[in-house]
Chains A and B, each alone.
Chain A
Amino acid sequence: MRPSRVLILFFLALAAEWFWSTYLSVWGVAPQLLLLCTLAVASQSGPVAGQCYGFFWGIFLDVLDVHVFGAAMLILTLTGYVVGGLRRQMDVSGASSQMTVTAGLSLIYWLSLGLAGLVFERQFLWVGWKIFILGTAFNVILAPAVFWVVRRILNPPGRYG
Chain B
Amino acid sequence: MNRDNRAANYLLFLFGGIALLFLCLPMTGKVRGFRACAAYLFEPFPYYGSQGLHKLSTLSPDISRLIEADMRVRSLEEELRQTELLRTELESLRRENARLAQNLSLSTSAPSAVGWARVLERDPANWHRSVMIDAGEAEGVELNAPVLARHVGRMAVIGRIVETLEHSSKVLLLTDDLSAVAAYLPGSGWEGLIQGQGSARLRMNYLPVDEPLHAGDEVATSPTSATFPPDLVIGTVSKVFDRDPFLAFQTVEVAMAVPSGRIKEVLILHKRRRGNP
Q: Do A and B bind each other?
A: yes
CA distance A97 to B70 in the complex (A): 56
Residues of A near B120 (CB, < 8 A) are 22
Residues of B near A110 (CB, < 8 A) are 125
A-B pairs with lowest CB-CB distance, top 10 = A28-B261, A70-B22, A74-B19, A47-B8, A73-B19, A70-B23, A64-B123, A55-B15, A77-B15, A70-B19
Closest to B118 in A: A22
Tally of contacts, chain A with chain B, CB under 8 A: 147
State whether the Cβ of A160 lies closer than 8 Å to any Cβ in chain B. no
Q: In the complex the two chains form, is A18's CB within 8 Å of B45's CB?
A: yes
Q: In the complex the two chains form, is B23's CB within 8 Å of A22's CB?
A: no
Contact A128/B22 with A18-B49, A51-B8, A66-B176 known, Cβ cut-off 8 Å: no
CA distance A62 to B18 in the complex (A): 13
Q: In the complex the two chains form, is A66's CB within 8 Å of B170's CB?
A: yes
State whether the Cβ of A15 lies closer than 8 Å to any Cβ in chain B. yes
Residue in B11, B22, B49, B130 whose CB lies within 8 Å of A69: B22
CA distance A18 to B260 in the complex (A): 17
Residues of A near B20 (CB, < 8 A) are 70, 74
State whether the Cβ of A146 lies closer than 8 Å to any Cβ in chain B. no
A contact residues, total (Cβ < 8 Å): 56
Q: In the complex the two chains form, is B123's CB within 8 Å of A61's CB?
A: yes
Contact A21/B198 with A47-B8, A69-B35 known, Cβ cut-off 8 Å: no
Q: How far is the CB of B1 from chain A (nearest CB, A)?
A: 9
Closest to B18 in A: A73
CA distance A81 to B12 in the complex (A): 7
Q: In the complex the two chains form, is A28's CB within 8 Å of B8's CB?
A: no
